Amino acid sequence: MSPVNNIAVNQATDAAPTSGSGVTAFKVESPHVRYGESTIESDYLYDTTIVSRDASTGQLKAKPTKVHYQFQTKTKVGRVGLMLVGWAGNNGTTVTASILANKKNISWETRKGTQEPNYFGSVMMASTVKLGVDANLNDVYVPFNEVVPMAHPNDIVIGGWDINSLSIGDAMRRAQVLPVDLQRRLYDELKELKPLPSVYYPDFIAANQEERADNTIGGTKQEQLDHLRKDIRDFKQANDLDRVIVMWTANTERYADIIAGVNDTADNLLKAVAEGHSEVSPSTLFALASILEGAPFVNGSPQNTLVPGVIELSERERCFVGGDDFKSGQTKIKSVLAEFLVNAGIKPVAITSYNHLGNNDGRNLSAPAQFRSKEISKSSVVDDMVGANNILYKKGEHPDHTIVIKYVPSVGDSKRALDEYVSEIFMGGLNTISIYNTCEDSLLASPLIIDLFMMTELMTRVSYRVKSDADAAEPEWAQFHSVLSILSYMLKAPVVPPNTPVVNALAKQRMAMENIMRAFVGLPPNNEMLLEHKAFH
């Protein structure tokens, strides 16, 4: 299939570009910020506290420390593309159709009247951040996506692969996610879009997916890897793109076994592909193809795509990767509520989560091996909150945590989630909180694809260096670590660089995104001390 058939949202439209100008909602007036024709450079003093313990007394010693960073952000976004693995699935068709509706401002009729398109659910497109205070000490807010120049979803060129050959228009109808009137208005354009053949290994996904697999790449694993690399190159060239980001939004796979000599190092993994080893999964093959083509790769499903060999290769090739598993609804609530309880000195002792859903994701998860991947990604979400409080939890202690997912076809994409939190309170008492949540699964997950794309794309334009008084010459600019932990807000089981702690607490994850973007333009981190309201009166 010609790669030109993969052009999606940017075809046949007179809409003006919405990004790439390098203009932000504000300009920082500071000697520590320099605006060039194509860059923003900032000097930033990073305040941290180094803690040690006195060997003789056992007392902790805290030492405030400042590190001088310089950041350089390229302001020109350019022309960017997104290739989705599983493009014809619920998430792929929903995000493609929704971006098209937003780009062309296509409204549709509902029982309550006319509905306009929007980007609700995207933290980048539908939330704001506090910039500072005005002369009257009133808070001033700006859109999150205007702190630094970012790609706009309306400008994304979308393509991708799928094991099923349905057009994106017909796959949108099959998904039954978007309102019928909106589907009708988008169908003619989307039916022209066809997914590229994908990689299908029956051992890695549920047997009930076999009937969909009519659009697959043959040959050996090495030939398939070469084929995927060519797909990425062709897509980039055909659409005149500056960069491409690849994202896995296909079915959940089973976990791959980590085997010494197979997927433990980059060279071993590439050798295993050449030899056709059975433990190289389709998602890992896509990750390898992306890295080797210099295209950042994000895993939106819970399986362990980013095996050690993938991480090492991403470091070696200096290509970004991120994962795992879109954090859409229930897990977001869990990370907020668990953090609240533990920070309030309340001790969760049991967390029980039940889900049922009827989309194809639920059908695939009805197989035990695929459910196990999801169970693992959901189960670790409270670990860092528990580990942060050694008053409530003694070493090795952890809440009972049970997760159940059932496939109920009749509910379709509308997922039901029931959570029960049992906590120990004052003097041995118990408190129980129960939450019943009904959510439209793909309408929560699709904005995460947009956010992950926008943040990943931004990081390809940012470099940094650490300054020191001892430096005889200017240090070289470097990119951030290849594993993008900054994406953690959107992911259930964040993959982080080696020897880096995992943060699951949602407020901390969002604060990290907000403050690092402020650092790129030379602004201090936001805090809620409100000293200006105390000191100025």
Enumerate the active-site residues: 325, 374, 415, 492
Structure tokens at 444: 């929560």
In whole angstroms, what is the distance from residue 6 CA to residue 88 CA?
A: 12
Give the sign of the dihedral formed by CA 510, CA 123, CA 150, CA 486. Answer: positive
Q: Which residues fall within 8 angstroms of residue 119, CB to CB, at 6 or more apart?
A: 102, 125, 126, 153, 447, 450
Q: How many helices (H) and strands (E) does the chain have?
A: 15, 18
Cβ(153)–Cβ(125) below 8 Å: yes
Cβ(149)–Cβ(75) under 8 Å?
yes
DSSP string across 470-530: T-SSPPPPBPPPSB-GGGGGGBSS----TT------HHHHHHHHHHHHHHHTTPPPP----
Phi, psi of 404 (to 5 degrees): -130, 135
Task: Kindly report the three-state secondary structure assignment for every residue of 300-368.
Answer: CCCCCCCCHHHHHHHHHHCCCEEECCECCCHHHHHHHHHHHHHHCCCEEEEEEEEEEECCHHHHHHCCH
Alpha helices in 76-122 (DSSP H): 90-103
Q: How far is CA 127 from the centre of its chain?
A: 16
Structure tokens at 355: 């889900």
Q: Are 148 and 3 in contact (CB under 8 A)?
A: no
Quick check: 56 and 220 in contact, CB under 8 A?
A: no
Distance from C-alpha of 22 to C-alpha of 494, rounded to nearest angstrom? 30
- Which of 322, 299, 246 is closest to 482 using CA atoms? 322
Whole-number Å distance between alpha carbons of 272 and 266: 10
Environment class of 130 (CB within 10 Å of its CB; exposed 0-12, middle 13-18, buried 19+): middle
User: Cα–chain-centroid distance for residue 209?
Assistant: 25
